[in-house]
Amino acid sequence: MGMLDLNTKYSIAQAVTSTGDTASTNVYDVGSAASADIGLNDELWINVVCSTTATSGGSATVQAVLQDSADNSTFADVLAGPALAVANVTQGAVLLQACPPLGLRRYTRIVYRVGVAALTAGKFDAYVSMDVQRNIARPSGFTVA
C-alpha cells in the first residue's frame, strides 16, 4: 500500500454500533465542483476494511456505501458493497474496494449501513488510495529456509 494522506481517510478505527446509517468521521472535499471526478486522471481506489471484528446480539448485517453531495449536506448513494452477515465481518475483512464511479459531486463520504440488529462491537477504516490493499496476514513464528 502506498502512502496515505490524512485528508484521504474517511475513517480511522471508527466504532459503529447502531442500526441504520452511520456516516464516516471525515468527508473528502475535492475543492471545487469543476474537479469533482476523483480518479479521473489517476486510478484511485475506495477501500473500506474492518479493523476490529464486529459482533452483534442478533443477526446484524454490515454494508459500506460511498455517497456524494454537491453541498456537503444532502448525500446520495453512488456505490455500495455487499451486505455482509456479522459473522463475516472480521478483522481484515473488506467491505468495499472499488474505483470510484465517474460523475461524483464535490463531497464524498462513506456510510456504514447496519441492518437487522445493532452491533455490540466493530471498528472500520475507510480511505482513498492509489493502489489496492492486498496484504495477506501470516502467522508469526514461521521459519524461512
Q: What is the pLDDT of residues 11-68, one digit of tens each?
A: 999 999 999 999 999 999 888 766 555 655 567 899 999 999 999 999 999 999 999 9
pLDDT at 31: 80
The confidence band for 84, taking pLDDT boundaries of 50, 70 and 90, is very high
From residue 2, alpha-carbon distances to 14, 28, 85, 136 in Å are: 21, 18, 30, 16
Give the separation between CA 1 and CA 130, rounded to whole angstroms: 8
Enter the pTM of the model: 0.84
Exposed, middle or buried by CB within 10 Å (0-12, 13-18, 19+), for 43? exposed
Report the CATH architecture of 7-129.
Sandwich (2.60)
Give the separation between CA 8 and CA 50, rounded to whole angstroms: 17
Domain spans of the chain, in order of start? 7-129
More confident residue, 113 or 7: 113
Give the separation between CA 142 and CA 80, rounded to whole angstroms: 38
Residue type, 30: V
Q: Is the separation of the CB atoms in 121 and 52 below 8 Å?
A: yes
pLDDT over 70 at 94, yes or no = yes
pLDDT over 60 at 72, yes or no = yes
pLDDT at 5: 61
Q: Is the separation of the CB atoms in 69 and 76 below 8 Å?
A: yes
pLDDT at 1: 47
Q: Share the mean pLDDT of the chain.
A: 86
Q: Is the dihedral of CA 101, 104, 108, 111 positive or negative?
A: negative
Please list, in sequence order, all residues whose beta carbon lies within 8 angstroms of the beta carbon of residue 87, skipping any fewer than 6 positions away. Answer: none
Please list, in sequence order, all residues whose beta carbon lies within 8 angstroms of the beta carbon of residue 140, skipping any fewer than 6 positions away. Answer: none
